[in-house]
Homo-oligomer: A and B are copies of this chain.
């Protein structure tokens, strides 16, 4: 029997994820040692309040001094679960500078400073592992970084925010209103008291930046992502979508055009019910990747939660610890800045709901407005009549966003159009 190599971890932060991580490492230590020959130990854990007991963590390991953990030469690997951006970035850079690899689930940090951090890790010859930063319980980052490293990815679409997927699933399956579904999500702890980061699409936006960076090997940052939230989605939109054979999902979509320019966006989207993403319900996450070689791949799992997130960080920690032993590391290669396609130039199919006078000639006027901007109608249905107006629902073929916007302005100017209702992007195969 070979002697086990001891690997000492310094854990920054001990909230839900940090304490789950420590528990998992302790529970699995023997099995990990059997599989890998490494005895993984928690050497120190930084917290705000050392007096508060932490399940699964020896009180003697607690400290309030994160910087001392990062500087400790007896610690091999840093596990960052404290969150935050500026201070955390300094700690991570210091860890790299002292030769320590870092495992993190910090999506804000990566969406804002990922390219810089990858470069610093590469210069220091250490790993930056981030499996848990996007769709935490799905091991797809490693797939993007390694299995698909030779793949020409054309598009990735993700359900990467569990809160909004829970809300939209409740609206779809139980006919709940947006407000009721949000309240239920808050009651169950899936949504924050201030739900803006989730329902406004900002959380998904950070994740879109990370996905685009790794899928296309170009620096894409949070500010490059076009964002629309789900606050305007109504029960009627959901039921219209269902009747037309779609479900509404908040998608993070990243795509690359033939010239190599990149579009990254987050918005509520009509997804055909037979599409694999349509069956991703409740607070589950999924990431669907398309490429020339692979055709289509989807990763599905728990997007958040202490245990799934911690499980992925354990995988990263073992991986990174193995690399330390082997004296090697994995970079993602150079990350030149991406050329970002402005939202106006992006092509998509659209769903548009229009209230128009219920009289002859109106449809010709409306069709004329679409046609004048080169937007081609794929299907039209009359969904109902209220007072003297008929509600017409259109789905277009793929059109350029700016042409669609111009069409909407032209439609609004028509005397026969009383109101333009919901406008949603539609996933085409």
B300 near A297 with CB under 8 A, answer yes
Of the candidates B301, B314, B334, the one whose C-beta lies within 8 Å of that of A295 is: B301
For the complex, is A201 an interface residue (Cβ under 8 Å from B)? no
Hey, which chain B residues are within 8 Å of A147, CB to CB?
131, 139, 142, 312, 315-316, 319
Q: Does A24 contact B (CB under 8 A)?
A: yes
Please determine whether A149 and B319 come into contact, CB atoms closer than 8 angstroms: yes
Judged by a CB distance under 8 angstroms, whether A259 is at the interface is: no
Q: Which residues in B have their C-beta under 8 angstroms from that of A281?
A: 274
Inter-chain contacts of A298 with B (CB < 8 A): 298-301
Check: A55 CB closer than 8 A to any chain B CB: no
| Complex CA–CA separation, A24 to B148 (angstroms) | 12
Contact between chains at A217 and B35 (CB < 8 Å): yes
| Contact across chains for B292 and A307 when beta carbons are under 8 A apart | yes
Q: Is A347 an interface residue (CB 8 A)?
A: no
B276 touches A24 (CB 8 A): no
Q: Are A308 and B294 within 8 A (Cβ)? A: yes
22 A-B residue pairs with CB within 8 Å = A20-B293, A24-B150, A32-B150, A35-B334, A36-B149, A131-B147, A139-B297, A142-B146, A147-B315, A148-B311, A149-B318, A151-B315, A274-B281, A279-B279, A292-B307, A293-B310, A294-B307, A294-B311, A295-B307, A299-B299, A326-B326, A326-B329
**Shortest Cβ-Cβ A-B pairs, 10 listed:** A293-B311, A139-B147, A150-B314, A326-B328, A297-B301, A298-B300, A139-B143, A147-B315, A35-B333, A279-B279
